[in-house]
Amino acid sequence: MKLKNNLGREKLAAVTLCLGTALGTTFMIANKTPFIASMLAIIVVGVYINIVSGKW
């Protein structure tokens, strides 16, 4: 996958940090409600891929 983003290093690092925080929260939720946690994880990863690939 070729990345065509115009974020720069700082913004990309911030987006990656937010992704890590969101996925960590998702894994904490997964103990109680695995279905909702899996949906959240898919949404978070999809948004991250769209941002990094430059489609958003």
Q: How confident is the model at residue 17 (pLDDT cuts 50, 70, 90)?
A: confident
Of the candidates 48, 50, 55, the residue with the CA atom closest to the CA atom of residue 23: 48
Q: Find the helix packing angle between 8-29 and 34-53, rounded to 10°.
A: 170
What mean pLDDT is predicted for residues 33-39?
Answer: 84
Q: What is the largest CA-CA distance in the chain?
A: 38
Put simply, whether the predicted model's pTM sits higher than 0.75 gets the answer no
Name, in order, each residue with C-beta under 8 angstroms of 54's C-beta and a sequence gap of 6 or more: 3, 4, 5, 6
